[in-house]
Structure 1
């Protein structure tokens, strides 16, 4: 039930967004993404994380597929 509060389903665009701050306060999203992907952080801004390999993740519009291992586990 708690996870449902963090999920936002956009049926029109067929997209699921996750707001981790609705689960826990003060989550370090950049560090969490770094640990999850195994990539080193190059730069952190208010709305995105840039990794050393040049990839960029918008932290305000997280795609559930990226953080799926944090949410659904077997």
Structure 2
């Protein structure tokens, strides 16, 4: 399925109705944009469980946020 939408000067767009239906999304739902290695973009619905899981995991990753880590991985 392909749909075309215009991007506004503010970087906003409307998700066409058939795409919203295919993704099962509506007002208040979250979507994630993922850039693929070939440069294409993938959009998917984010399940509420994903957000809770990510918030829980975030607290365990403090060992990777030191200034030394930022310096070492800045150019990746």
TM more than 0.5:
no
Larger radius of gyration: 2
- Structure number with the bigger relative contact order (C-alpha 8 A, sep ≥ 6) is 1
Normalised to the residue count of structure 2, the TM-score between the two structures is 0.23
